Copies of this chain bind each other. A is one copy, B any other.
């Protein structure tokens, strides 16, 4: 039943070779990978104003374009920087890989930790903003903010468990629709603009105060969230069709151009129209001011909502890939590197969704609260990645390396400064949480690695050691115990199997009383097999303890080094409900016995009919 539900939600399993078909070109790669950066139009500018407005009133709108263009300058620098990374890392140059290769282990793991957190926040912030957009257009939805956010994340999760290609088709067209809509709004907004700054909204306080540098820095911190997502392209190079680096570079350039136009344009629009910030999303208010509550207003609302959901999807492309790479390197639990039925990294997708839902619940899906946490992670990984490239140029040299080192070096310096700015100015507004969690993650990752290394060391065997081993001699005496509760087809099958794998077989039965012992001994005597039956008493038919005591007993005469195989039957029934009715004892016995290194547990399946019709057929056949 659970399986059926899974099939309906996730789709039929895909063959492994289908993976190449799931890759994307420029047309579909652009919307998937750029939506994070593009969608930030919906919140970055607004959150800058939310910092400035309460302090300096209407002067805030005047500051907006200036800070925005500083951020756009940073975007240009990052674009140049990351184009170089794509060239050098055609197999996916995430900050983790670049930092680890060039700056060493700790830097790599730090980048991985920072980036992981950033991905989770991408989902949380984008989905929260998406919900904010629609609750701004439809106020009656406001009380359901958190629930709507959670449902959206679950929707993303299922979509991504279904696989990559379907996602790209599903999300490509509305992304272009959003870009078109905002361009239309910019055009209409500039054309209709009457040349005067709009009248100040009633609630904005008009007192003009000196603009403190700290205010500008805090606004800049919030605006920096517009830059998250730039690294997604260079992380995802192997997801592109061949030639992947070329495709990736074109997508990165297109992305930067679009962000530049949209973010810059809406900042100027906000300066012109001065929408009232607070209860409602800025973009939705601009749309209302420019178009009125007509078709275009709903068009902007819908496409903004959708692009934000797609932005969350960027993380669903990036996060599972990142943790899979880290898992393969031994820094994350291995099951994160396993692909699911539909060739997506299921465990990574589920982990990402769970973490995002947690954040949405904790911060009640408030964009303003989440933005405080957002920029740090990604700027740390920016810095580490650029520094890594810088070191690489110095080592490698090559054509134009001075210029290339300068670009990456400048990138590292600027983003490094941005980390400090964000960490300090937003510390009390949530950044402390990220500053706390990153080291915890790093330590965790290093410990995971240490553990896998310790295991590997114990398993390792050299060719010399192998050459010296004598494989002709049987190291282990092989003895078998078959626990039985009664004489039935299952126990007979187990006894027969036992005889084929060993000459030293014992049947072992636990009973409550002598009466049952007599009964089973009588029936057992009909089995003409050379296997003694040992009976032990236990008031609640517990098997494990008496069995282990028997193995230790003088009677059994266990010699160190011998291996004892215990054969357990397992009933296979088809329906989920019937499974609930079986095998609990078996699973318990298996787990307890396997704690002892000299015991091998062999599980013998037995196909059984579980319902009436099947049983009727079975009876007729006999």
For chain A, residues 259 to 275, give those with C-beta under 8 angstroms from any C-beta of chain B.
none
Mostly, the A contact residues are: mixed
Given contacts A16-B539, A527-B471, contact A594 B565 (CB under 8 A): no
Return chain B residues, CB-CB under 8 Å to A339.
540
A104 to B595, CA, bound (A): 46
Return chain B residues, CB-CB under 8 Å to A477.
500
Given contacts A461-B492, A490-B459, contact A603 B618 (CB under 8 A): no
Given contacts A16-B538, A474-B499, A605-B594, contact A450 B527 (CB under 8 A): no
Return chain B residues, CB-CB under 8 Å to A366.
none
For chain A, residues 592 to 615, give those with C-beta under 8 angstroms from any C-beta of chain B.
594-597, 599-612, 615
Q: Does A452 contact B (CB under 8 A)?
A: yes
Would A16 and B578 count as touching, CB distance under 8 A? no
The residue on B at minimum CB distance from A522 is B463
Q: Which of A23-31, A42-50, A237-245, A330-338 contacts B (4 or more CB under 8 A)?
A: A330-338
Would B450 and A528 count as touching, CB distance under 8 A? no
Would A611 and B454 count as touching, CB distance under 8 A? yes
Return chain B residues, CB-CB under 8 Å to A585.
334-335, 338
Would A496 and B471 count as touching, CB distance under 8 A? yes
Return chain B residues, CB-CB under 8 Å to A563.
497, 500
Q: How far apart are A28's CB and chain B's nearest CB, in angstroms?
A: 22
Would B600 and A605 count as touching, CB distance under 8 A? yes
Would B605 and A458 count as touching, CB distance under 8 A? no
The contact string, 1 if C-beta is below 8 Å from chain B, for chain A 474-517, is: 11111000000001111010001101111000000000000000
The residue on B at minimum CB distance from A595 is B572
Return chain B residues, CB-CB under 8 Å to A595.
572, 605
Q: Does A559 contact B (CB under 8 A)?
A: no
A582 to B454, CA, bound (A): 13
Return chain B residues, CB-CB under 8 Å to A608.
454-455, 458-459
Would A540 and B448 count as touching, CB distance under 8 A? no
Would A603 and B605 count as touching, CB distance under 8 A? no
Return chain B residues, CB-CB under 8 Å to A600.
497, 602-605
A529 to B501, CA, bound (A): 19
The contact string, 1 if C-beta is below 8 Å from chain B, for chain A 559-582, is: 000010100001111000010111
Q: How far apart are A343's CB and chain B's nearest CB, in angstroms?
A: 8
Q: Does A460 contact B (CB under 8 A)?
A: yes
Given contacts A333-B580, A581-B448, A594-B603, contact A460 B475 (CB under 8 A): no
The residue on B at minimum CB distance from A607 is B597
Would B17 and A539 count as touching, CB distance under 8 A? yes
The residue on B at minimum CB distance from A477 is B500
A212 to B460, CA, bound (A): 87
Interface centre among A19, A476, A584, A602, by most chain B C-beta atoms within 10 angstroms, is A602
Would A610 and B523 count as touching, CB distance under 8 A? no
For chain A, residues 403 to 417, give those with C-beta under 8 angstroms from any C-beta of chain B.
none
Return chain B residues, CB-CB under 8 Å to A476.
496-497, 500
Q: How far apart are A62's CB and chain B's nearest CB, in angstroms?
A: 48
A221 to B157, CA, bound (A): 50
Would B594 and A572 count as touching, CB distance under 8 A? yes
Return chain B residues, CB-CB under 8 Å to A571.
455
Q: Does A466 contact B (CB under 8 A)?
A: yes
Would A594 and B615 count as touching, CB distance under 8 A? no
Q: How far apart are A171's CB and chain B's nearest CB, in angstroms?
A: 25
Q: Does A526 contact B (CB under 8 A)?
A: yes
Q: How far apart are A510's CB and chain B's nearest CB, in angstroms?
A: 11
The residue on B at minimum CB distance from A539 is B16
A502 to B497, CA, bound (A): 12
Would A488 and B460 count as touching, CB distance under 8 A? yes
The residue on B at minimum CB distance from A615 is B454
Q: Which of B451, B474, B602 lies in contact with A601, CB distance below 8 A?
A: B602
The residue on B at minimum CB distance from A614 is B454
Return chain B residues, CB-CB under 8 Å to A611.
451, 454
Return chain B residues, CB-CB under 8 Å to A542.
16
Return chain B residues, CB-CB under 8 Å to A572.
594-595, 597
Would A463 and B523 count as touching, CB distance under 8 A? yes
Q: Does A40 contact B (CB under 8 A)?
A: no
The residue on B at minimum CB distance from A570 is B594
The contact string, 1 if C-beta is below 8 Å from chain B, for chain A 406-431, is: 00000000000000000000000000
Closest 8 CB pairs of A and B: A466-B526, A459-B488, A501-B501, A471-B529, A478-B500, A16-B539, A602-B602, A335-B584
Q: Can you show 26 pairs from A to B with CB atoms below 8 A apart?
A: A16-B538, A16-B542, A334-B581, A334-B582, A335-B584, A335-B585, A338-B585, A343-B540, A448-B581, A454-B610, A457-B615, A459-B488, A459-B489, A463-B523, A463-B526, A466-B523, A467-B526, A469-B492, A469-B528, A472-B528, A476-B500, A478-B500, A500-B563, A570-B594, A594-B605, A599-B605
A455-B608, A455-B610, A500-B563 known, 19 other contacts, Cβ within 8 Å: A17-B539, A19-B539, A450-B612, A454-B611, A458-B489, A459-B490, A461-B489, A466-B523, A466-B526, A469-B528, A471-B529, A472-B528, A497-B563, A590-B603, A594-B603, A595-B605, A597-B605, A597-B606, A601-B602
